[in-house]
Amino acid sequence: MIISEVQLRFFTNMTINCRGKLLDLSVPKVMGILNITPDSFYDGGKLTSEEKVLAQAEKMLNEGADMLDIGGMSSRPGAEIIPEDEELSRVLQHIKNIVKKFPAAIISVDTIRAKVADESLKAGAHIINDISAGRFDEAIIPTVAKHKVPFVIMHMQGLPNNMQQNPQYQNVTTEVMDFFAERIAACRKAGISDLILDVGFGFGKTLEHNYTLLRNLKYFSNLNSPILTGVSRKGMIYKTLGTNAEQALNGTTVANTIALMNGAQILRVHDVKEAKEVVKIVATYNHQ
């Protein structure tokens, strides 16, 4: 594994600039998930109207969400990539509605496409969250750089439609670390200042890979960028417990606690209130 001295510095800059809205990550933040999709693994098909999306956004913001992550294409295992126009039609009006009703809200858009990113940012979004880390659409990196917004880059082996078909690694931690080193270099070269790293729990990983990464999450702090953790109600939790996504809230809380103890700065969740409680308890524990 080859990582430059610059990339190995410990993460010290705990603030990201979301188009003039500064987000201080010295206390971890919570990102609420708004899936505008019919087929997401847990909440697909629930937000079927503009009124329901606004109501869910309001609920999450009232519960303390520090940002909202809007997605128009499911990335659950087995999901197919939908047409670009369909993805845009799903998210764009909702972004505009949330910006209008909740002007103080920080909005992230979950997309792998440059055009969706560009149109979303023009509509008032503040962050782009790309599960492909700029590999699906190479134009997304210069697009993010042009808008001068934070970029969430995630590790994924394969694509959603095939990522869980026998994923293999020699050493999952070092391979994900190497992936980030290369992606960080590409993003920095393009001029992106604020990067956020997501190791991609459940994206081309077995149960063992997921828990190895959770256990080793602290090592990714060496890459000098904040860590986002997305384990909410995923298979790594409910399969371990022998339940399902609907019954995985308690397990999610446990996994989020471990993630914060191991250095995560952002929790991406379906359940904001419970995640904010985790943040408060871990912050209190760490400062006593």
Question: Cα–Cα distance between 269 and 212 in angstroms, integer?
Answer: 20
Whether residue 215 lies in the annotated active site: no
Residue 192 lies in a domain: yes
Residue 271 lies in a domain: yes
pLDDT at 161: 65
Whether residue 21 lies in the annotated active site: no
Question: Cα–Cα distance between 66 and 46 in angstroms, integer?
Answer: 22
Residue 3 lies in a domain: no
What total number of domains does the chain contain? Answer: 1
Low-confidence ranges of the chain (pLDDT < 70): 1-13, 39-45, 76-79, 159-161, 163, 288
Residue 7 lies in a domain: no
* 91-141 confidence digits (pLDDT tens): 999 999 999 999 999 999 999 999 999 999 999 999 999 999 999 999 999
pTM for this model (two decimals)? 0.91
pLDDT at 253: 98
Residue 5 lies in a domain: no
Residue 214 lies in a domain: yes
Q: Helix, strand or coil for residue 33?
A: strand
Q: Select which of 113, 205, 233, 268 is catalytic.
A: 268
β-strands 227-229, 266-269 pairing: parallel
Structure tokens at 68: 């909202």
Q: Which CATH number fits the domain that encloses residue 28? A: 3.20.20.20
- Residue 261: which domain range? 15-286
Phi first, then psi: give them for residue 70, nearest 5 degrees: -100, 130
Residue 228 lies in a domain: yes
Residue 8 lies in a domain: no
CB 88 within 8 A of CB 116: yes
Q: Select which of 29, 76, 183, 234 is catalytic.
A: 234
pLDDT at 38: 72
